């Protein structure tokens, strides 16, 4: 959530539902979904939009909400930049005082414990929707090792909430910043980790982690095989977080969304991978590595019948077909809405960037 939101709301102990990192913008985040630390209690950022002020293709300005344009309102939630330029978001606000949170890091041999913990956590998050967790494996070039990074949060100022005990009971972290503090401190600290959805499976998460490690050993798709570990400034991350039944239950509010995710899906694991590096000469190798990794992860999950078609727009690579992942009926509905309001297709053809509805 941007500092503008946190600093404006904070004197009143109020927050809105936004991103977990203070450097991330609110416009794209909200139009693609917006997973927050509070999503199990309140849903995604866009579940908490009461009104969008939108500039249409003809330049006219409209308040789009459940009463004025219900179809367009639903389409904007997950439709990205295909439906107009949003010039104002009216968001629900929530009381929020101090919370408990931070990051904890462990050696890689604890990975299995934590993916198991995340799997159980997703199934049980409904018991305490104030808790949130992300499990990441990060390669630290300076030390030449992989480290397990946990981002743990509880929306109340309670140390070690019971639901997170499977994480917090593991002894001997290498580092821990867990403390009671403000939301803005947490969003400032959040590790900059920016996909695929899979059914809840600890063993598949471990297989993805193995694939990740194979990929960082060598970039095989380029002619000159170069170890990613040698790429200047490389910082590869693979992260797992849940879209739990607690969060999915929130999707019905405010007119629903076009994601195609239902309660029958149970706990979904959102897997994302991100890579940073410093030299443009390594671009081709690093993009090839990411492509290989996504292809291998997709094939592995598909072979085990564990791939969910949903792809989270805000983490997706440009090559990924987000809208097909919403399901045929949802995609057709979005296309019909786009044609109804913008028959010229101007936002889908002239506005560069973003995932395009085709
Ligand atoms: C460091 C970091 C942390 C992140 N943390 C989270 C997180 O906690 N939760 C989460 O869900 N995601 C997170 N993300 C992913 C994030 O949601 C996406 O990167 C998102 O696209 C960011 O939106 P933006 O407005 O900053 O980006 P931009 O690149 O400015 O916009 C992204 C897209 O949205 C469109 N867009 C933006 N604003 C408008 C508008 N007003 N009207 C119409 N179209 C618009 C743009 O045209 C573009 O296609 C994170 C990303 C980063 C890099």
Could you tell me the distance, in angstroms and rounded to a whole number, from the CA of residue 30 to the centre of ligand 1? 7
For residues 101 and 178, the answer to whether their CB atoms sit within 8 Å is: yes
For residues 216 and 140, the answer to whether their CB atoms sit within 8 Å is: no
pLDDT tens sequence across 184-206: 888 887 744 434 566 778 888 88
Closest C-alpha residue for ligand 1 atom 31:
28
Rounded CA separation 277/16 (Å): 33
Say whether domain 3-95+324-349 belongs to CATH 3.30.465.10.
yes
Rounded CA separation 72/62 (Å): 11
Per-residue model confidence (pLDDT) at position 312:
97
Q: Provide the 3-class DSSP secondary structure of residue 68.
A: coil
For residues 341 and 333, the answer to whether their CB atoms sit within 8 Å is: no
CA 280 to chain centre: 26
For residues 79 and 334, the answer to whether their CB atoms sit within 8 Å is: yes
pLDDT tens, the chain, 358 aa long: 665 565 555 668 899 998 888 888 889 999 999 999 999 999 999 999 999 999 999 999 999 999 999 999 999 999 999 999 999 999 999 999 999 999 999 999 999 999 999 999 999 999 999 999 999 999 888 888 889 999 999 999 999 999 999 999 999 999 999 999 998 888 887 744 434 566 778 888 888 788 777 766 544 444 444 567 788 888 888 999 999 999 999 999 888 999 999 999 999 999 998 888 999 998 988 888 888 888 888 999 999 999 999 999 999 998 899 999 999 999 999 999 999 998 888 999 988 899 999 9
pLDDT tens sequence across 60-84: 999 999 999 999 999 999 999 999 9
Rounded CA separation 140/137 (Å): 10
Among 4, 31, 36, 191, name the best residue to mutate to test ligand 1's pocket (greatest count of ligand atoms within 8 A of Cβ): 31
Could you tell me the distance, in angstroms and rounded to a whole number, from the CA of residue 330 to the centre of ligand 1? 22
Could you give the residue ranges of the DSSP H alpha helices within the chain? 3-9, 27-32, 39-42, 70-76, 111-124, 165-168, 183-189, 202-217, 245-250, 283-303, 322-325, 328-341, 346-349
Strands 268-276, 179-181: pairing is: unpaired
Q: Which atom of ligand 1 is nearest to the CA of 355?
A: 49
- In the chain, where the domains are located: 3-95+324-349
What lies within 8 Å, CB to CB, of 61 at 6+ separation is 53, 54, 55, 87
Rounded CA separation 171/33 (Å): 35
Rounded CA separation 262/272 (Å): 21
Q: Does residue 354 line the site of ligand 1, with CB under 6 A?
A: yes
């Amino acid at each position: 959530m941007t500092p503008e939101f946190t600093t404006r709301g904070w004197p009143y102990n109020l927050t809105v539902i936004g991103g977990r990192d203070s450097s991330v913008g609110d416009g794209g985040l909200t139009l693609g979904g917006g997973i927050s630390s509070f999503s199990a209690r309140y849903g995604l950022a866009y579940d908490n939009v009461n009104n969008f002020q939108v500039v249409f293709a003809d330049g006219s300005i409209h308040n789009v909400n459940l009463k004025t344009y219900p179809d367009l309102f639903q389409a904007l939630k997950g439709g990205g930049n295909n439906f107009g330029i949003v010039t104002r978001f009216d968001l629900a606000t929530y009381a929020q005082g101090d919370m408990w949170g931070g990051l904890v890091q462990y050696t890689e041999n604890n990975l299995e414990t934590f993916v198991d913990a995340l799997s159980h956590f997703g199934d049980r998050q409904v018991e305490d929707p104030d808790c949130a967790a992300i499990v990441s494996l990060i390669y630290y070039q300076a030390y030449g090792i992989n480290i397990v990074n946990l981002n743990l949060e509880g929306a109340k100022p309670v140390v070690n909430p019971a639901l997170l005990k499977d994480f917090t009971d593991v002894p001997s972290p290498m580092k821990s910043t867990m403390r009671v503090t403000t939301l803005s401190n947490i969003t400032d600290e959040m590790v900059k980790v920016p996909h695929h959805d899979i059914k809840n499976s600890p063993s598949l998460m471990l297989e993805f982690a193995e694939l990740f490690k194979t990929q960082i050993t060598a970039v095989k798709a380029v002619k000159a095989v170069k170890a990613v570990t040698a790429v200047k400034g490389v910082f590869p991350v693979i992260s797992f977080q849940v879209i739990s039944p607690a969060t999915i239950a929130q999707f019905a509010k405010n007119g629903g969304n076009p994601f195609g995710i239902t309660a029958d899906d149970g706990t979904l694991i959102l897997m994302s991978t991100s890579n940073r590096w410093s030299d443009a000469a390594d671009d081709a190798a690093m993009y090839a590595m990411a492509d290989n990794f996504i292809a291998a992860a997709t094939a592995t999950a598909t072979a085990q019948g564990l791939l969910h078609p949903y792809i989270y727009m805000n983490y997706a690579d440009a090559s990924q077909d987000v809208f097909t992942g919403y399901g045929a009926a949802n995609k057709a509905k979005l296309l019909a809405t786009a044609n109804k309001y913008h028959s010229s297709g101007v936002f889908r053809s002239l506005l560069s960037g973003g995932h395009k509805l085709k």
